[in-house]
């Protein structure tokens, strides 16, 4: 895969993006309406959302082990969503995916993502995480889903900047190992008929298009190795997030609608100077408060016939989450393009045939 994989658009594309939907992870809590799947679904439905992306690690909302073992349980969960006019768009294993590959420098920081019984034991923690992904494949199949959201984890991230100079083969070894760990998981999702969509994200080894291609190649271009597109992470890297869709549209199967801004100064740039989110040059913002060109993104998604949902992932260093959620549904709805089924100039169709076409070209 490279920068020459832009597919020409021929004819008319018939899919309109589904949405608006919302990722529930940032809203789950111990107080109603955020402490149960039924009550949080009622809340987001009242805001105008039509779909929910479900974090698989939060048992207040979803029991992954039950979902993997029981289609009946999955039908019940889907029924709760449907009772509020919602569909489950995807499951997420962002936290478990992170634990598939953890550099020792981050052992303590990420240990809290795991079940208590495997904390402090990196090998047991990784085995637990892989099993979580296997269960997520089965649960996604039980729910009739076609895509799954996750993180890749990271072995090479501490060496992202090439100083001190990286020894020859270091990055290649890291990505070889990453592919070794993920290939059995990708195979399980292949058996389930579900795409694994890695959120391309700083802090993960898969943080841009080049690094995604590095894993894709090492998995033998695995048919389930796909992308979650979130433009906010590209704004903060000064990456062209519109051209990214041109290049990778065939790989993008999940879309997080999230805003961001990047305002470099003479004192601070991409790396942020170790500052808090409020004081960084690059910050996540609520929809409409940042710099992301959403009309351009939704136009690209319509152009390339994106088959999935527009899912709000709310993160903002300034605005209250409930205000962000309330504003998110109408924002997404305004940007969804209902794809046309006819050409705008059909009124001028001359009704010509092959013989007329040949005459117009001077062919006999």
Domain boundaries, the chain: 18-360
Q: Dmax of the chain from CA atoms?
A: 81
pLDDT at 340 over 90: no
Q: Which long-range contacts (CB under 8 A, 24 or more apart) does 6-9 make?
A: 6/246, 6/247, 7/249, 7/250, 7/304, 9/303, 9/304
pLDDT value at residue 1: 52
pLDDT value at residue 350: 67
Q: How far is C-alpha 37 from the chain's CA centre?
A: 21
pLDDT band at 345 (very low <50, low <70, confident <90, very high): low
pLDDT value at residue 356: 86
Q: Domain 18-360 class?
A: alpha beta
Q: With pLDDT > 90 as the criterion, what percentage of the chain qualifies? A: 90
pLDDT at 343 over 90: no
pLDDT value at residue 13: 47
d(CA 309, CA 32): 26
Let me know how many helices (H) and strands (E) the chain has, helices first: 13, 10
ω into 87 cis (within 30 of 0): no
pLDDT tens-place string over residues 196-207: 999 999 999 999
Task: Indicate yes or no: pTM above 0.85.
Answer: yes
pLDDT tens-place string over residues 172-212: 999 999 999 999 999 999 999 999 999 999 999 999 999 99
The SS3 call for residue 119 is coil
pLDDT value at residue 21: 98
Neighbours of 300 (CB within 10 A): 20
């Amino acid at each position: 895969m490279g920068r020459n994989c832009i597919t020409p658009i021929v004819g008319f594309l018939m899919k309109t993006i589904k949405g608006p939907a919302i990722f529930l992870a940032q809203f789950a809590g111990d107080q109603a309406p955020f402490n149960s799947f039924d009550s949080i679904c009622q809340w987001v439905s009242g805001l105008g959302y039509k779909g929910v992306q479900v974090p698989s690690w939060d048992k207040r909302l979803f029991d992954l082990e039950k979902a993997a073992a029981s289609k009946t349980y999955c039908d019940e969960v889907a029924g709760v969503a449907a009772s509020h006019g919602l569909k489950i768009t995807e499951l997420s294993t962002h936290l478990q995916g992170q634990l598939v590959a953890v550099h020792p420098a981050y052992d303590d920081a990420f240990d809290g993502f795991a079940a208590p019984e495997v904390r402090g034991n990196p090998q047991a923690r990784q085995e637990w995480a892989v099993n979580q992904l296997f269960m997520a494949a089965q649960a996604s199949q039980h729910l009739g889903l076609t895509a799954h959201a996750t993180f890749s984890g990271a072995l090479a991230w501490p060496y992202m900047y090439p100083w001190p100079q990286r020894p020859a083969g270091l990055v290649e070894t890291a990505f070889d190992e990453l592919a070794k760990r993920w290939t059995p998981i990708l195979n399980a999702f292949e058996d389930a008929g579900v795409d694994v969509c890695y959120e391309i994200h700083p802090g993960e080894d898969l943080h841009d298009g080049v690094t995604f291609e590095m894993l894709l190649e090492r998995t033998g271009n695995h048919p389930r190795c796909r992308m979650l597109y979130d433009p906010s992470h590209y704004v903060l890297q000064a990456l062209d997030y519109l051209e990214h869709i041109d290049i990778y549209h065939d790989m993008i199967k999940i879309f997080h609608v999230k805003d961001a801004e990047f305002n470099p100064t003479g004192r601070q740039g991409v790396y942020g100077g170790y500052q808090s989110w409020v004081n960084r040059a690059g910050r996540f913002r609520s929809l409409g408060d940042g710099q992301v060109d959403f009309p351009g993104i939704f136009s690209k998604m319509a152009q390339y016939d994106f088959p999935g949902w527009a899912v709000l992932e709310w993160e903002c260093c300034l605005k209250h989450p409930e205000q962000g959620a309330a504003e998110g549904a109408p924002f997404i709805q305004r940007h969804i393009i209902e794809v046309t089924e006819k050409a705008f100039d059909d009124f001028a169709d001359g009704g010509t045939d092959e013989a007329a076409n040949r005459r117009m070209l001077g062919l006999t």
